Chains A and B, each alone.
Chain A
């Protein structure tokens, strides 16, 4: 018998029992939806998180100071650190929260004391005006660069260059507006940046809260981290008072965690596919019993054992693959909805589609072979006599 005829026969048999075929498929549909949705959501979330981290700059190191010990680091010290071959620049930052007032509106905002290098290193973009420059730092000017939310909250407009705001009793002139941040990490929309030296005076403190360091290239980040570590031990004599965050190391770890998550979650979801497969086997066994007489007639007119085997196997595989295709369709629609709702781009990757189809076909063959073989091994006379 030709294969195309076997497919025709199988489809005809499945059509004869539409509700039963659909219910049998449902197990596979649910399994495929579970697996593909989970994989795609995790992939989407991974992409989002690593994207955020990468947007901070993949050659970025961040030094944070813990503990209460004074660090005594100065801008001159940072210049020494910048002598290292692998380090492009280092920017000390002082961070405080302060009451800021403009006219009658007053609220708490984050205030960061920064230098010109801060912009180079973090890649912070300016929407209007200019960033803090070297003169501002040298002359302790009262100039400020504001985040977009600060501008709209205090001045009711983004066009705020030249306006004055009050920080801790001192009047600052707005000289620049930051571009809106599109990340959740390192969001500067509600931040006011002022010259580092002015901040030191304002808050009566000379300590850095953090140092942003940028390596000369993504592949020198690890060397830069080592150089920084050596430098800080030398300067501070203690490696407990600081820690260095390496962005590329975070990305690596994130990717690793996410891939383990993917395997774990899809493994759990795959159990439902196996359950779906058992459903197919169950129904195929019922079908073989119901159609014993049909099998007998087919054998009497000359069907080979293999003809019967293939017919029933195709029925099982068609059920499972059709379930897989429908499941993928549902996943596709579900991901469109989820992407919009969660504002995270998520889509079915080619690998996921291939995995879902491959696995459902595999389930169909594995759980279809036993019933099909049972049908094929019936003796013609026993099958014909079956009532």
Chain B
């Protein structure tokens, strides 16, 4: 359960202040598949970073699973990123010197899992994205779509409840993009919450709820007035 109340975030860009988020209020329930749509510079990536505990809001309240984010220690936030959240980035963000297997294994190493358990989880995740046969390849030996699937496998390996995907198809051709979206839909069916950041309305329409963001504010919520 994600509850955002009047979240503000301001960046200093040289002389001018940029209000990346200017009072965002939204609630995302467990198991929802939400697309956050907006043009570039609308603040949608900032929103994802705050939801993913990578960044902190300047003002407003963010509750994750009912608890105020300010109450978590740095150590607990690392643990949340490790266990509760799986990140999928536009630039994949794989470590270039590690193989696909080692990249997927990374969050499990930080959990301190024994090797046998890590191996089981890594293979399970790689099979899910159809890349078990490529596990010994480095990122530069894989296509963009394959790299993104490795990144998804890494996000899945810890069995997170929330997947945050920031323009996951942004750097991919339409065929690979469809593959990635199919995997995300699959994950939603399994009961995970998914927050998808995109500027593409076609991609966004695959989610069950759309939040349109512009100039740091939520302009339209497809669920507003309806379900909530």
Contact = CB atoms under 8 A, between A and B. Distances in A.
Nearest to A380: B54
A103 interface: no
A376 B214 CA distance: 35
Chain A contact residues, majority secondary structure: helix
28 contacts: A5-B109, A16-B97, A293-B93, A297-B93, A297-B94, A297-B95, A300-B81, A300-B87, A300-B93, A301-B87, A301-B106, A301-B110, A301-B154, A302-B81, A302-B83, A302-B107, A302-B110, A304-B110, A305-B74, A305-B78, A379-B55, A380-B54, A380-B81, A381-B49, A381-B54, A381-B55, A384-B54, A384-B93
B225 interface: no
Interface string A275-313: 000000000000000000110111111111101000000
A69 interface: no
Contacts of A12: 97
Contacts of A2: 109, 112
Given A1-B109, A16-B97, A294-B95, A301 B54 contact: no
A300 B91 CA distance: 14
Contact of A303 (B55, B78, B83): B78
Nearest to A298: B106
Q: Is the interface on chain A under 10, 10 to 19, 20 to 34, or 35 or more residues? A: 20 to 34
Interface of A: 1-2, 5, 12, 16, 293-294, 296-305, 307, 379-381, 384
Q: Which of A293, A296, A300, A304 has the most CB of B within 10 A?
A: A300
B106 A300 contact: no
A193 to B, nearest CB: 79
A251 B112 CA distance: 60
Given A294-B95, A381-B55, A384-B93, A302 B111 contact: yes
A286 to B, nearest CB: 17
Interface in B89-109: 89, 93-95, 97, 106-107, 109
B81 A301 contact: yes
Contacts of B111: 302
A14 to B, nearest CB: 12
Given A2-B112, A297-B93, A379-B55, 6 more contacts: A1-B109, A302-B79, A303-B78, A381-B49, A381-B54, A384-B93
A299 B109 contact: no
Contacts of A381: 49, 54-55
6 residue pairs, one from A and one from B, having the closest CB atoms: A302-B82, A301-B107, A381-B55, A381-B54, A380-B54, A302-B110
A12 B89 CA distance: 25
Chain B contact residues, majority secondary structure: helix
B54 A300 contact: yes
B117 to A, nearest CB: 13
A298 B109 CA distance: 11
Nearest to B53: A380
A303 B93 contact: no
B158 interface: yes
Interface string B149-176: 0000010001000000000000000000
A1 B94 CA distance: 19
A15 to B, nearest CB: 9
B120 interface: no
A92 B112 CA distance: 83
Contacts of A16: 97
Contacts of A379: 55
Given A1-B109, A381-B55, A299 B95 contact: no
A293 B82 CA distance: 17
A235 to B, nearest CB: 87
A239 B59 CA distance: 95
A1 B81 contact: no
A16 B111 CA distance: 25
Interface in B117-173: 154, 158
A304 B95 contact: no
B75 A304 contact: yes
Interface string B8-22: 000000000000000
A135 B55 CA distance: 105
A2 B111 CA distance: 9
B71 to A, nearest CB: 18
Contacts of B107: 301-302
A298 B49 CA distance: 15
Given A381-B49, A381-B55, A384-B93, A301 B112 contact: no
Contacts of A297: 93-95
Nearest to A304: B78
Q: Which of B107, B109, B112 has the most CB of A within 10 A?
A: B109
A352 B156 CA distance: 52
B48 to A, nearest CB: 10
Contact of B110 (A1, A296, A384): A1
Contacts of B55: 379-381
